[in-house]
Amino acid sequence: MLRTLVLQAFWTMLPAYVPNNVAVLAGGGRPIDGGVSWNGNRLLGDGKTWRGTLVGTFAGVVLALVLDVVRESIETRLDVTLPVFSVKSAFALSFGAMLGDIGASFLKRRSGRERGAAFPGLDQLDFVVGSLGLTAAVAPTWFRTVFRIPVLVVVVVMTPALHVVTNMAAYVLGLKDEPW
Ligand code: CTP
Ligand code: K
Ligand code: MG
């Protein structure tokens, strides 16, 4: 029961987990805010770039479509029912995750935090809120079918833990400047 929920939650959220990590690898180039400041602080900062956002979003969508292709064989192997991603849901999960992270940087700058500063809680959940929010908005029927309450609960509990572990790993591997 819990095993099924964890597998379903993880599978469904993979297209939301991957974009921000790909952005770390792909980032660089022109910042989205074009260097503009507001009340003495950058609008978003140099850590939110067009390239990171585009490549990250694209990676999430491609991943979802690959998951669709391998779904049936994984279902048989793991004896679990897994959701099918539509292009719309794939895009919303992926781009929503990037939007949530961008929104968090906007809030960090408004509270005077420099690029890279930690904002515990927000750092771990920004992309979940963005991802679920955008998906609920643009693919409401898909959202209601896939994100049943128990799945949502597992997503909200499991994601911060996964976020901490993956960012720690990226930091140890020298891919990220800070472990959050
Ligand atoms: N990145 C990017 N575009 C994004 C998100 C991330 O290019 N939309 C890249 C940037 O190189 C960024 C790195 O991924 O520095 C790490 O992402 P993150 O930790 O979210 O950014 P920070 O640099 O820590 O900036 P912030 O304080 O605004 O979160
Ligand atoms: K972040
Ligand atoms: Mg950071």
Q: What tens digit of pLDDT does each residue of 37-80 get?
A: 999 999 999 999 999 999 999 999 999 999 999 999 999 999 99
Place of tokens 């994984």: 74
* Calculated CA dihedral for residues 70, 165, 105, 30, nearest 10 degrees: -60
Mutation test residue for ligand 1: of 48, 123, 175, 177, the one with most atoms within 8 Å of CB: 48
Domain boundaries, the chain: 2-172
Cβ–ligand 1 contact at 125 (below 6 Å): no
Q: What is the pLDDT of residues 90-149, one digit of tens each?
A: 999 999 999 999 999 999 999 999 999 999 999 999 999 999 999 999 999 999 999 999
Q: Mean pLDDT, to the nearest integer, of 170-178? A: 95
Task: Determine the pLDDT at residue 3.
Answer: 97
Task: Determine the pLDDT at residue 69.
Answer: 98
Task: Determine the pLDDT at residue 165.
Answer: 95
Question: Which structure tokens are listed for 14?
Answer: 């993979």
Cβ–ligand 1 contact at 47 (below 6 Å): yes
The CA distances from residue 81 to 6, 9, 11, 20, 72, in Å, are: 12, 11, 10, 27, 9
Axis crossing angle, helix 2-26 with helix 122-138, rounded to the nearest 10: 100
Mutation test residue for ligand 1: of 22, 24, 37, 127, the one with most atoms within 8 Å of CB: 24
Cβ–ligand 1 contact at 52 (below 6 Å): yes
Q: Whole-angstrom Cα distance, residue 96 to residue 42?
A: 22
